Amino acid sequence: MSFDSLGLPVSLVEAVKAQGYEKPSPIQEQAIPAVIAGKDVMAAAQTGTGKTAGFTLPLLAKLEKGPRAKPNQVRALILTPTRELAAQVQASVQKYGQNMPLRSMVVYGGVKINPQMQNLRRGVDILVATPGRLLDLYQQNAVRFQQLEVLVLDEADRMLDMGFIHDIKKILKVLPPKRQNLLFSATFSNEIRTLAKGLVNNPVEISVTPRNTTVEKIEQVLYEVDKTKKTALLSELIVENKWQQVLVFVKTKHGANRLVKNLEARGIRSAAIHGNKSQGARTKALAQFKESQIKVLVATDIAARGIDIDQLPNVVNFDLPHVSEDYVHRIGRTGRAGNEGLAVSLVCQEEFKLLKDIERFIKKVVPRRVQPGFEPGEPLQPSVLDTREKKIKKPKVAKPANRAGGNKKPRGVRNNFVGG
């Protein structure tokens, strides 16, 4: 199948081909015709599958035909969980729609609100926004939705993970009920299906990747190492393997800053990207990384789903994530669009339980290595893949009071309080 057969206008097909894409990805094949036909869509697709073009291309095609947006009005709203992802979605809209008479803009927190309010006065055909800043703009009468035709929730599962559910509900209340809804998520969890019930109407359901699987073209490997030697090992791997572009994930903001300081001291140009950094600093670090001005970008999980870099060769888990699904999102930054990638995890003894949970989740034992000179003082236990579903423990129910003894507790029963 080619892009010509998906119902897109010639100008968009040419814009796509100018970017070097000849054939649509599976998510694009299914989503683009459904969106153009005006249907609600609920799509599960991992990062790196081309889902952003899967909704931006048909959005541009639909909006080209209608009346332009009036002052402070929006015709299509795309909600994303992070500033980085919002900026990248906007870049996709601009890239493909550069020859179309449509206005688009992106709004997010961390920068001044007044310039955003001024730009909205002209009206916007496509607005890309993070939920918090969008609500701020709405409360200041800077944006209105009487002309809204399409709502897109991108990375919906991540928005729920980050606690945006209340903001999303507030936004939904002020949107016109008659609209097209597109929901994109890495997985169809129970929480996502609950959200979808009040959002999409008779949707076309698309799933292009089985749940919990990692991209096949990514080589996964872990190095056993003591916690105190992780920085030295990372430095050696970067130098020895001549890695030119490495995305490193850590648990905490403080840990990210400390790692950057230590890598810089070893002569490896690095920068950190996390929630405490200003938007300007985050944008600058990402731009420097993409342009190979810095070799290592250290990120916390807030950036795991918001960094879109073509042909990123190496991802390192300096710390294993506490949520197994985040492992999949992290390593999904490499091996994109059919390219090969390498995902390396540095694992110490204290992280063995996290490793077990991840291997159960991805249904695969990650191959192990030991770097000469970095042999751990306490080697990891062998992995035995456990594919059984995790049992959810039922809360204990206190037995009724003993009738004969009034309020006397039966032997062996403690006072159990919810959350206590």
Write the pLDDT tens digit of every residue in 173-203. 999 999 999 999 877 778 888 888 878 888 9
Structural domain ending residue among the three candidates 354, 369, 384: 369
Summarize pLDDT for 114-167 with one digit per residue, the tens: 999 999 999 999 999 999 999 999 999 999 999 999 999 998 888 887 788 899
What tokens appear for 221 in the block? 């490997």
| Average of per-residue pLDDT across 33-48 | 86
Q: Is residue 114 part of a domain?
A: yes
The answer to whether residues 200 and 225 belong to one domain is: no
Domain of residue 37: give its range: 3-207
Strands 104-107 and 74-79, by their bridges, are unpaired
Q: Is the domain of 62 the same as that of 11?
A: yes
What is the spatial distance between Cα 420 and Cα 416, in angstroms, rounded to a whole number? Answer: 7
Q: What is the 3-state secondary structure (H, E, C) of 306-348?
A: CCCCCCCCEEEECCCCCCHHHHHHHHCCCCCCCCCEEEEEEEC
Smallest Cα–Cα separation from 52: which of 15, 19, 25? 25
DSSP annotation of 398 reads P
Same domain, 238 and 345: yes
Give 56 or 386, the one with higher predicted confidence: 56
Q: Confirm whether 412 is domain-assigned.
A: no
232, 178: one domain: no
Position with higher pLDDT, 232 vs 199: 232
Q: What percent of the chain is predicted at pLDDT more than 70? A: 85
Residue 416 within a domain: no
**Residue 402 belongs to a domain:** no
- Is 80 exceeded by the pLDDT of residue 314? yes
What 3-state class would DSSP assign to 146? coil
Residue 343 belongs to a domain: yes
Beta strands in 52-143 (DSSP E): 74-79, 104-107, 124-129
Cβ pair 222, 346 in contact under 8 A: yes
Name the DSSP letter for residue 144: B
Domain boundary among 180, 207, 234: 207
What CATH number is attached to the domain comprising 228? 3.40.50.300
The last residue of one of the domains, among 207, 228, 243, is 207
Residues 359 and 231 in one domain: yes
Tokens found for residue 18: 């100018």
Residues 201 and 224 in one domain: no
Residues 89 and 173 in one domain: yes
**165 and 49 within one domain:** yes
How many domains are contained in the chain?
2
d(CA 290, CA 87): 14
* 116 located within any domain: yes
- What is the per-residue burial (b if ≥16 Cβ within 10 Å, else e) of 296-325? bbbbbbbbbbbbbbeebbbbbbbbbbeebb
Contact 150/76 with Cβ under 8 angstroms?
Answer: yes
Domain check: are 247 and 161 in the same one?
A: no
Same domain, 136 and 231: no
Is residue 64 assigned to a domain? yes
Q: Answer whether residue 318 shows pLDDT above 90.
A: yes
Mark whether 86 and 111 lie in a shared domain: yes
The pair of structure tokens assigned to 111 is 């920068």
Q: Are residues 357 and 328 in the same domain?
A: yes
379 occurs within a structural domain:
no
Share of the chain above pLDDT 90, in %: 49
Strand order across the 341-347 sheet: 270-273, 296-299, 246-249, 314-317, 341-347, 218-224, 368-369
